[in-house]
Structure 1
């Protein structure tokens, strides 16, 4: 069934979630990729040191992002690119944490997004020895991509969700989440308000 969403993947300079250095986004409309884009990001101080471990994983160096714009320039673009879409990411807690922590490091409001984790969807869709992105993507028929390239990873993530939606006969992400029993996440002001309602004084009444 056709689904619409924006898939996203980040790479970071180091272990800090505020050290985003690369992002790839893929827009899916009615089950078809209609737009894709990759951008380098200059991490904010003091999160800009590039860990040798991270560089070995994704191949991005400080020199490669030295002239790139910071997150304050990329965030409005992301809002426009995604529009009202839900975001989808593999191990989405990581990528949503990058959005939140990088925004906070720049003194920016965390954007409002609903999101779904393709890793959890894959666990409820396929029977695999591993649910790492390359393995889950192969189960969805998406093979031979450059893992840890942000755009390639976002495309792989999109392929998993489109394939899973067809298998579960789901025509939107809300239905897919319901059928697979995967929790829908939120970030931004809406998520903060939701947490307050669950844990604040009113929740005790």
Structure 2
């Protein structure tokens, strides 16, 4: 199979992982970026306050998302864009945690998604002093981007995975995960069932 996935990045309004205020999505088919999308998100009530620290990082303010769609309104578009792809994110536990928490905060079932962490891939691919997104992206030949802009970060994440696949001679994401010795993980009902069974 060819190298295909959807890279994703969220920015949050505050320290709550349910407070997604922006998302960036980049679709890769046959190892090439074929589509991009990004939009603001109005965080759920109780998670909708903006901390100065977060705004200082990403530049998004409460007034920027005042007319944005809510999580329940935009989640179908996010899933339609991904269209069943394995998701890729840098420090994917954070981004997948945003999906889980935002769904919980809005009483939605968490969607079933498989994902790979590009941070883990980078650690198994490059020898760097830091594996932060800007540094890992530079190693992949993708630099001079606006870090903490959700779309730019998703593009950087995609570039890392495409470059790493070439380094490892991997034809698809499963081959890359195997070569880099990283796991393809999941969120959603199946992942929850596995976790419940393991806890018994």
TM class by shorter chain equals: over 0.9
Aligned residues between the structures: 200
Instruction: Find the residue that maps to 2:34 and give its secondary structure.
Output: strand
Q: Please give the alpha-carbon distance, in whole angstroms, between the structure 1 residues aligned to 2:2 and 2:30.
A: 4
TM-score scaled to structure 1, two decimals? Answer: 0.96
TM alignment of 1:133-172, pairs within 5 A: 133-172=133-172
Unaligned stretches of 5+ in structure 2? none
Unaligned stretches of 5+ in structure 1? 201-205
**Alignment partner, residue 52 of structure 2:** 52
**Alignment partner, residue 124 of structure 1:** 124
**Alignment partner, residue 203 of structure 1:** none
**Alignment partner, residue 95 of structure 1:** 95
TM-score scaled to structure 2, two decimals? Answer: 0.98
**Alignment partner, residue 25 of structure 2:** 25
**Alignment partner, residue 5 of structure 1:** 5
Cα displacement (A) at 1:158: 0.1
Q: Please give the alpha-carbon distance, in whole angstroms, between the structure 1 residues aligned to 2:168 and 2:99.
A: 29
**Alignment partner, residue 70 of structure 2:** 70
Cα displacement (A) at 1:197: 2.3
Q: Please give the alpha-carbon distance, in whole angstroms, between the structure 2 residues aligned to 1:2 and 1:190.
A: 25
Q: Please give the alpha-carbon distance, in whole angstroms, between the structure 1 residues aligned to 2:84 and 2:90.
A: 20
Q: Please give the alpha-carbon distance, in whole angstroms, between the structure 1 residues aligned to 2:152 and 2:6.
A: 14
1:8, 1:88 within 8 Å by CA — same for their partners in 2? yes
Cα displacement (A) at 1:184: 1.5
Instruction: Find the residue that maps to 1:21 and give its secondary structure.
Output: strand
1:18, 1:98 within 8 Å by CA — same for their partners in 2? yes
